[in-house]
Amino acid sequence: MLKQHGRFAYRSIEGRPRWRWPGGKGVAVFFALNVEHYAFGEGLVEDLVPGMTKPDVLNASWREYGTRVGAWRLLRLFEREGLPLTILLNSAMYDHAPDFLAACRAGGHEIACHGRTNSESQAGLDEAAERALIAEATARIAQEEGRAPAGWLGPWLSETDRTPELLKQAGYRYVLDWCADDQPFWLRTAAGPLLSLPYSQEVNDSVAIMGRQVSAAEFADMVIAQVDQLIEDAADGVPLAFGIALHTNIIGQPFRRRELARALRHIRDRSDALWITRGMDVADFVETDPSMAP
């Protein structure tokens, strides 16, 4: 037998219960905006131009553009379109750009946890160190927002063999690390079930634009095609969900943001078939629907 993770069993999309999201909608859509902070000159990085000499001013500045400009422009774009955000937050951002988080709070956007910083990952940490990372990031968000975050995305989608247990023990209700489905599903953990929400690794500006070098227009077309196809797929009665992965320093660039706006208008125009929401609201609904019981 092949080694397995043991977190969930195979289940065909065709053999699932038929039900609908609020308002009778077939597809739930949420916008997952990564708001990340990096150390200068050390730790993990995402680079625009690899192989630069040290100190790497070019790439550090490109990443910082995301917090100084891109995040703000995207926030205002979503406000103009009347669309909610799920902010995937490195908790170090509270020290770096507290005014941006205040603006997110004022807009009623969800603050989910994306670890402390993207200069580190959980991979390879011992249990005490990983537990401390989760606890520190979670406590900072709870302190600033007045409530603990419901959702978690690991920095670099990194996990150890015990991560789901630690997240469940820390009070998390959903995780975005597992991209195995177009519908929420439950992960088995020794601490009880933990909900996994769809967070696309295909329709993800980092993977698509930085990794595969697609254009801004192509990425917007990918968003539109994904939404339209999921609406068709959900016509058989099986509700689906789509978490659109965005990053402030990538899609926040002006020429890309203009194309994203085109995709957002398309999504808004298809709201008759879409429940446009936040990650925590999807979790709320699934937790109360008996057909989705773990």
Q: CATH code at 140?
A: 3.20.20.370
Question: Parallel, antiparallel, or unpaired for β 86-89 and 110-113?
Answer: parallel
**Residue 182 domain flag:** yes
Identify whether 241 is part of a domain. Answer: yes
Q: For the segment 86-113, what is each residue's pLDDT rounded down to a tens digit?
A: 999 999 999 999 999 999 999 999 999 9
Q: What per-residue confidence (pLDDT) applies to 24?
A: 97
Asked whether residue 9 is assigned to any structural domain, the reply reads: no
Note the pLDDT of residue 60. 96
pLDDT at 63: 97
Helix %, strand %, coil % of the chain (to 5): 45, 15, 40
Range of the domain at 277: 19-43+57-292
In a domain, 231, yes or no: yes
Assigned domain for 10 exists: no
Q: How many domains does the chain divide into? A: 1
pLDDT < 50 stretches in the chain: none
Gap between the Cα atoms of 277 and 86, Å rounded: 9
For 25, 58, 110, 112, 225, the CA distances from 86, given in Å and listed in that order, are: 20, 29, 5, 7, 22
Q: What is the DSSP string of 172-240?
A: --EE------SS-EEEP-TTS-EEEPP--SSSBHIIIIIIS---HHHHHHHHHHHHHHHHHHGGGS--E
Answer whether 0.85 is exceeded by the pTM: yes
> Is residue 5 included in any domain, yes or no?
no
Residue 52 inside a domain? The answer is no
Give domain status of residue 97, yes or no: yes
